[in-house]
Amino acid sequence: MPRDVPRPVITEPDLPARPAAASERDVRTRNPVLVIRHGAFGDLLQADGALRDLREHHRDRRIVLLASSPYTRLMSRCPHVDEVIADPRAPLLQLGRNLALLRTLRERGFDRVYDLQGSDRTALYRRLMPEPSHWLRKQNPSDSGTPDRLAYAWMLAQAGIRVRHADAPDPGWMADDASGLLAAAGVPSNYIVLIPGSAARHVHKRWPGHTELARRLAELGHAVVVVPGPDELELARSLPATVLTAPEGFLDWFALAGVLRRASFVVGNDTGPTHLAAALGVPGLALFGSHTSVERTGIRMRAFDAMQVPDLAQLPVDVVLAEVMRRLPRR
């Protein structure tokens, strides 16, 4: 992200909003626009293009994003929004926390809301907030095969907004310069990233062939890199690959994006970093079992493709390796 782009303000709804520093003040103050997209991480990536279209349409208005608390620091770097409000998504019986959020939203006087979440929770927010002149809600049932980014494009077009980016997320603003990190680890300019893990609660998304794939790729002369998350350190260290970590144990999203953006190819499970690689335009391949629809996730973008099989445990390494070698850009 260019250094001269002001970072959005982050507002915690249960705390007084801190005054904006001089560098954060923005001419866009008239009639703020609210965009709701809680997360998870892959969902926010899918929304990146829609946020850019909204920024271009509302050039003179302040765009405020309501996101889940774990993602507010991440989205504070997004150049398409001016402010991020943290939604703790507290259980409905925790009235104090929910009323604090609703008070924050009501006080802002939003006259236009773009509900990219389209959930029961956001429907409740609509009933409890003063009715804005325009509340546009994403229509894309969870059992449809349509990626959310296409639903966003349709929603914005219906609102008379010029759609140029909704179907092509490009979160390059997320990527730090990883050249120093890679050089310090002795990683050459051409390397393949493997993403063997997933959140601990989603072990069914993990293809067990990553260790063998790393060995086979190394035998073919390819440098292999693994960038584990907090649930994957032990798994990553079992692979014959260069494991990139930070002093605290794992790279943050910005360093991870920097590593992925420089990769020659990425192979990963259905997990956040794999979706990030796809959105960054890196060539790659995602491996899916029967847990969801590849089409629904929207991971097929640009040079990124996916393989889906009934049972990931039965997917042969030879099949994946052949597909990687067929798609790998020539050096």
Given 115, 148, 170, the domain boundary residue is: 170
- State the average pLDDT over residues 164-193: 96
Which pLDDT score, from 0 to 100, does residue 193 have?
A: 98
| 18 plus 127 within the same structural domain | yes
Residue in 145, 139, 104, 107 with CA at minimum distance from that of residue 123: 139
Domain boundary among 151, 170, 189: 170
Q: Are residues 311 and 218 in the same domain?
A: yes
The pLDDT of residue 249: 76
Can you tell me the mean pLDDT for 42-69? 96
Render 221-254 in DSSP notation, one character per residue.
Answer: T-EEEE---TT-HHHHHTSSSEEP--TTSS--HH
Return the half-sphere exposure (C-beta side, CA atoms, 13 A cut-off) of residue 51: 30
pTM as predicted: 0.87
> Same domain for 18 and 76?
yes
- Same domain? For 139 and 187 the reply is no
Top pLDDT among 62 and 27 is at 62
Q: How far apart are CA 176 and CA 174, in angstroms?
A: 7
Question: Are 65 and 191 in a shared domain?
Answer: no
Region 105-111: mean pLDDT is 91
| Predicted local confidence at residue 232, as pLDDT | 85
Do both 140 and 189 map to the same domain? no
Q: Would 3 be classed as within a structural domain?
A: no
Q: Are residues 195 and 156 in the same domain?
A: no
What pLDDT digit, counting tens, does each position of 271-316 carry? 999 999 999 999 999 999 998 889 999 999 999 999 999 999 999 9
Question: If you average pLDDT over every residue of the chain, what do you get?
Answer: 89
pLDDT grade for 235, boundaries at 50, 70 and 90: confident
Task: Examine the pLDDT at 23 and tell me if it is beyond 60.
Answer: no
Residue 48: which domain range?
9-170
Domain assignment present for 28? yes
Question: Is the Cβ–Cβ distance between 37 and 44 less than 8 Å?
Answer: yes
